[in-house]
Structure 1
Amino acid sequence: MDYLIRFSTQHESFRLAEIEALTQLVNIKNGLQSMVAVEILEYSLVSPFCIVRFSLGSSDGSAVSTEQDVHDAVISFMSRSIQAKAIYELWGSGSDYESLHTDVRARSQHLWSRYQHDVRFKFSIDSYFGKRSAGEQREIINQFAYFGFQGKVDMKRPDQEWCLMEEWESPLHLSSNGLAENRNIDRDNQPSCEVDGRLPANTTSKQPRRIILGRKITSSRRYLVEKHDLKKRPYISTTSMDAELALITATLALASPGKLFLDPFCGTGGFMVAAAELGAVVLGSDIDGRSFRGKGEGVEKGVGRNMKFYGIDALFGDCLTSDLTNTPLRRSRVRWLDGIIADIPYGVREGLKVLGRKQPIKEGAEEGGLVKQPHKIGGVLAHTLPGYIAPKKPYSFSKLLENILDFAARTLVDSGRLAFWMPTANENEEGEQRSAATPRHALLELKHESVQRFNKWSRRLLVYERVVGEFDDAALKGDALIPVVNGTSADELNPFRRRYFQSFAKEPNG
């Protein structure tokens, strides 16, 4: 049996990555006894409808694909989805209603008898980029009277629900490069079939281009997006990651019960909250402890307050003040992290920094008595007092990328995942479209690269998986696919920051 995933219409480039991650999560839950495979049969970035096929097999290769096994796998799969709204058992599809009815009879007639007696049912219409009046909806639904359902119609608490999904012509279909020209269209807020019978202004056809009928299996966990809306969260900052993107990031990193996750740039803990919501135990660190402590004297007033607000404080390990480059966290032959998720500092509001002295101690300074003595306050070493802020120095963005890849390779367990966001300019200094180099590491396999585009710049979510097996230290170094940047100032050390404050303009001689 084939199924239809009804996606939301936000963040289209993340959908396929989520399907892969959800498949892995189902297999982790099932263990090695049965392996789920999801085959994508029909999919387009410009459509929220994705037709897939589920299959199961045992670890020894024998088939274990009973109908109930597949049904359980489908429910387990969708129960972790953030981007999808629901999944449906596919009963038929067509380019018009005549071809739809033909396909429905051929594909699902053997199923009708299951629901013909003592089953409360509901029919609804989901028109993507189109509208149907109430009268039109009734007329369309009544065309399926040949199902022979004798049960009561119940629009609030049905036992079974069928949905007719209409896909109308949209600017995305008419555009030659779809998303690039229409990325600012809020398709979730496009007129739906439940308002009135007028066609929206951007609809060029009087009939849908495709119609699909499906029986609803289950809804997703998309309700978490509303639950974690930043407007409702007690502790945030201006740089807190969008709740949906944080949940997507945690999902692609395979956050789930029994796993240990770290955010080495935790800030107000948005990624920590997302990973904990999905069941992982979380740790965090940040170069500025004030970001996760808030105005209080401990994390219970900052990140801990958010954890308690969502009832996931039992999964909150702790936060520590540290940068990633000089982290005290153990890096040894014993790897201990299941996942690392991060929004790497872009260095725009203030230059990227790490702990350390701006001016290194010169050779021979100790003999000459030129070494600065430890600072004391009231006779107590300043760095031992609460609220101490360690000195910082400018740091290269490309070097930081190398650091996080190396740290992940040394700490992630086999098949553990690293997921982080990286900003890039859409054009180079000459005004040419550019494809920024993707950081690489010998021990990390790039699984996904998803892009969120803005006007003149983008940010990419990069997801890596730790290669299985042990390697010697000589292999634990990042590949130099990102050029090494030298300099001393924030702009010299961070080309993206420099281009940002130039408004991504062309060079005068470009």
Structure 2
Amino acid sequence: MQTESKMWRRYLMWFAHEHIDFRHAEMQSIISLLNIPVRYVEKPCVQKPYCIVEMPTEDCVRKIASRSVLLKNCIELWARANTVSQLHVNLKNSLKNSTGSWVNGEKDKDGVSNTCLCPKELIELSCPLKKSFKIEVETFCKHYSMKEKVSKIETFSYLPFEGPVKLKNPDVTLAYLEFYGVDPNDVPDEPYDVFFGKWIADGQRDLIQVHSLKKRQFIGNTSMDAQLAIIMANQAQVKLGDMVLDPFVGSGSLLVAAAHFGAYVWGSDIDYMMLHARTRPTRVGQKIRTKEESIRGNMRQYGTESRYLDVVVSDFSLHNWRSDLKFDAIITDPPYGVREPTEKIGIERENYTLSEEHMANHVPSKVEYGLGHIYSDLLNFAATHLEMGRRLVCWYPLVREEYQESQLPSHPCLKLVANSEQVLSKLAARRLLTYEKILDDVPNMPVDPNAGVHNFREKYFTMGETTRRERKEKRAEEVAAYLARKLESTRYDLT
């Protein structure tokens, strides 16, 4: 065994089991934003709902937890093992570890040590005579009854806690966690990993309900899920006083998330009816929209109206922003042409001239705005209007079997720093792309003719028709086979 030369506290970061592919990207964005020094004890793994890190102070952990929506809670780790018996051995030996540092055992091929001993000072600091405490039991992929949980808790009777047990608002909350893998159909008899330590902080999971679309005044057909909107704001590293733009704002879900973290928010969209809340209501049973329904109304609902700058009706392909205007972040979900059309101002007829008598009340016609052109314009806009070192976060739709990272939108001024997949169906997905501005003064890049996003709408509906046809054919074959068996059975009975 070897002793750590410098004492950093060790923490278990326990995540919620959803949006798995986004965990590391959100965590790294928050760590970078807050400039927190972190050492990974074990390499993060998407198959595990946790990671073990070391940080210099408890305050660092609390800062991360104050931002992350995918983080469930943070535990100051006292012991970990791959068997329950070994966990108790490690915890008892930790009570004898007077080195003032972690003592690490030999690591296996995955870089995991099963015999790490925390310094006894960590435990003793939480054990004053007058401090109340409780122990919570949490399992992943397995359920325990209350009686079984109490039985687990009683096995820790050797810990030097002399204060009273207090189940509500104790001074110290201890946590015992068991990990049984991620497959609910193949749960082992014994856990793969077990942990014990002191609870430090919870993540921001409560924000999911606070910002839920079910409770929001104004929503549309494509309003972004509250949790995903907060993840986007975190990956854009939105902070107090930033100016944030959503150029395809829709009903403003992304502005709500950005304003929550203290940003001043702008939005633009070509859809006049949506920006003025005059579209058909989305909620079932609602006939007309109320006067309170608007993007400003949403801001007022969440107490962030003072951070709402405005939204403007604008064609992004012909935007009218000043060339020297800079934003701290751009977060957006461009239309894909599936539930909302991809449109820009234009006419399909060549050499068309509008007569003067129709000029005053003319409403410009629209033409298709190809996805390839949308993303080309978006990256060129970000390269010009982002502050140096700041971020563009956007969704990118694709056919899963055609995905190639080399076909993702790119620009010399922008570096792709995160790329996470959200599966939409068996055949389609979208990826959350995070770009960081690294260069300035590079001319606009043309549309990439090889971009995988071309013809996404056509492919999406073609795949849907193919899938429905396959289901009908399969159903017809099953019915035919059933009738054939029935007929054969009838003939047998007659003979």
TM tier relative to shorter chain: 0.7 to 0.9
Residue 423 of structure 1 corresponds to which residue in structure 2? 397
CA distance in 1, matches of 2:164, 2:270: 61
- Equivalent of 2:420 in 420, 441, 450: 450
- Equivalent of 1:344 in 334, 356, 366: 334
CA distance in 1, matches of 2:235, 2:449: 24
- Equivalent of 1:309 in 301, 318, 322: 301
Residue 463 of structure 1 corresponds to which residue in structure 2? 434
- Is 1:130 paired with 2:104? no
Aligned pairs (5 A) from 1:329-340: 329-331=321-323, 334-340=324-330
- Is 1:48 paired with 2:49? yes
- Is 1:373 paired with 2:350? no
- Is 1:94 paired with 2:81? yes
Residue 113 of structure 1 corresponds to which residue in structure 2? 124
Residue 270 of structure 2 corresponds to which residue in structure 1? 287
Question: By how many angstroms is 1:141 displaced?
Answer: 1.4
User: Is the contact between residue 426 and residue 434 of structure 1 (CA under 8 Å) also seen in structure 2?
Assistant: no
Aligned pairs (5 A) from 1:184-199: none
- Is 1:154 paired with 2:172? no
User: What secondary structure sits across from 1:503 in the alignment?
Assistant: helix
Which residue identity does 2:22 align to in structure 1? F
Which residue identity does 1:239 align to in structure 2? T
Question: By how many angstroms is 1:7 displaced?
Answer: 0.6
User: Is the contact between residue 15 and residue 70 of structure 2 (CA under 8 Å) also seen in structure 1?
Assistant: yes
Given the superposition, is the C-alpha separation of residues 241 and 137 from structure 1 closer, same or farther in structure 2, using an over 3 Å criterion? same
Question: By how many angstroms is 1:467 displaced?
Answer: 0.8
- Is 1:318 paired with 2:318? no
User: Is the contact between residue 229 and residue 254 of structure 2 (CA under 8 Å) also seen in structure 1?
Assistant: yes
Given the superposition, is the C-alpha separation of residues 409 and 298 from structure 1 closer, same or farther in structure 2, using an over 3 Å criterion? farther
User: Is the contact between residue 42 and residue 52 of structure 1 (CA under 8 Å) also seen in structure 2?
Assistant: no
Which residue identity does 1:284 align to in structure 2? G
Given the superposition, is the C-alpha separation of residues 397 and 124 from structure 1 closer, same or farther in structure 2, using an over 3 Å criterion? same
Q: Note the alpha carbon deviations across 1:35-85, whole angstroms, 9 max, x for none.
A: 533536243212212111225xxxxxxxxxxxxxx2222211211111101
CA distance in 1, matches of 2:147, 2:340: 58
Which residue identity does 1:353 align to in structure 2? E
User: Is the contact between residue 427 and residue 504 of structure 1 (CA under 8 Å) also seen in structure 2?
Assistant: no
User: Is the contact between residue 276 and residue 294 of structure 2 (CA under 8 Å) also seen in structure 1?
Assistant: yes
CA distance in 1, matches of 2:79, 2:218: 47
Which residue identity does 1:361 align to in structure 2? N
CA distance in 2, matches of 1:360, 1:225: 50
TM-score normalised to structure 2 length = 0.80
User: Is the contact between residue 398 and residue 483 of structure 1 (CA under 8 Å) also seen in structure 2?
Assistant: no
Question: By how many angstroms is 1:504 displaced?
Answer: 5.8
User: Is the contact between residue 445 and residue 466 of structure 1 (CA under 8 Å) also seen in structure 2?
Assistant: yes
Give the unaligned 5+ runs of structure 1. 28-34, 56-69, 172-200, 363-370, 384-388, 486-492
User: Is the contact between residue 426 and residue 458 of structure 1 (CA under 8 Å) also seen in structure 2?
Assistant: yes
Which residue identity does 1:242 align to in structure 2? D
User: Is the contact between residue 48 and residue 182 of structure 2 (CA under 8 Å) also seen in structure 1?
Assistant: no
Question: By how many angstroms is 1:305 displaced?
Answer: 0.9
- Is 1:483 paired with 2:450? yes
Residue 257 of structure 1 corresponds to which residue in structure 2? 240
Question: By how many angstroms is 1:135 displaced?
Answer: 2.5
Residue 32 of structure 1 corresponds to which residue in structure 2? none
Which range moves more in the overlay, 343-352 or 278-287?
343-352
User: Is the contact between residue 411 and residue 445 of structure 2 (CA under 8 Å) also seen in structure 1?
Assistant: yes
Given the superposition, is the C-alpha separation of residues 320 and 170 from structure 1 closer, same or farther in structure 2, using an over 3 Å criterion? closer
User: Is the contact between residue 78 and residue 123 of structure 2 (CA under 8 Å) also seen in structure 1?
Assistant: no
User: What secondary structure sits across from 1:500 in the alignment?
Assistant: helix
Residue 367 of structure 2 corresponds to which residue in structure 1? 393
CA distance in 1, matches of 2:41, 2:435: 22
Which residue identity does 1:73 align to in structure 2? C
- Is 1:413 paired with 2:421? no
Q: Between the two proteins, what is the percent identity of the paired residues? A: 31
Q: Note the alpha carbon deviations across 1:446-491, whole angstroms, 9 max, x for none.
A: 01000001221000000000115x32xxx23237655279xxxxxx
Given the superposition, is the C-alpha separation of residues 12 and 409 from structure 1 closer, same or farther in structure 2, using an over 3 Å criterion? same
User: Is the contact between residue 86 and residue 218 of structure 1 (CA under 8 Å) also seen in structure 2?
Assistant: yes
- Is 1:83 paired with 2:70? yes
User: What secondary structure sits across from 2:256 in the alignment?
Assistant: helix
User: Is the contact between residue 269 and residue 303 of structure 1 (CA under 8 Å) also seen in structure 2?
Assistant: yes
User: What secondary structure sits across from 1:442 in the alignment?
Assistant: coil
Question: By how many angstroms is 1:95 displaced?
Answer: 0.9
- Is 1:359 paired with 2:374? no
- Equivalent of 1:19 in 27, 45, 54: 27
User: What secondary structure sits across from 1:77 in the alignment?
Assistant: helix
Question: By how many angstroms is 1:351 displaced?
Answer: 4.3
User: Is the contact between residue 25 and residue 254 of structure 1 (CA under 8 Å) also seen in structure 2?
Assistant: yes
C-alpha RMSD of the superposition: 2.6
TM-score normalised to structure 1 length = 0.78
CA distance in 1, matches of 2:397, 2:256: 23
User: Is the contact between residue 325 and residue 403 of structure 1 (CA under 8 Å) also seen in structure 2?
Assistant: yes
User: What secondary structure sits across from 1:213 in the alignment?
Assistant: strand
User: What secondary structure sits across from 2:401 in the alignment?
Assistant: coil
CA distance in 2, matches of 1:478, 1:71: 46
- Is 1:145 paired with 2:148? no
CA distance in 1, matches of 2:198, 2:377: 49
Given the superposition, is the C-alpha separation of residues 2 and 437 from structure 1 closer, same or farther in structure 2, using an over 3 Å criterion? same
User: Is the contact between residue 269 and residue 312 of structure 2 (CA under 8 Å) also seen in structure 1?
Assistant: yes
Residue 229 of structure 1 corresponds to which residue in structure 2? 212
User: Is the contact between residue 440 and residue 480 of structure 1 (CA under 8 Å) also seen in structure 2?
Assistant: no
CA distance in 1, matches of 2:308, 2:291: 10
User: Is the contact between residue 130 and residue 203 of structure 1 (CA under 8 Å) also seen in structure 2?
Assistant: no
Count of residues in Structure 1 that have an aligned counterpart in Structure 2: 425
CA distance in 1, matches of 2:369, 2:86: 62
The structure with more radius of gyration: 2
Residue 488 of structure 1 corresponds to which residue in structure 2? none
CA distance in 1, matches of 2:397, 2:457: 10
User: What secondary structure sits across from 1:478 in the alignment?
Assistant: coil
Q: Note the alpha carbon deviations across 1:84-141, whole angstroms, 9 max, x for none.
A: 0111111110111121122222314222222221111110111100122223222221
CA distance in 2, matches of 1:288, 1:425: 27
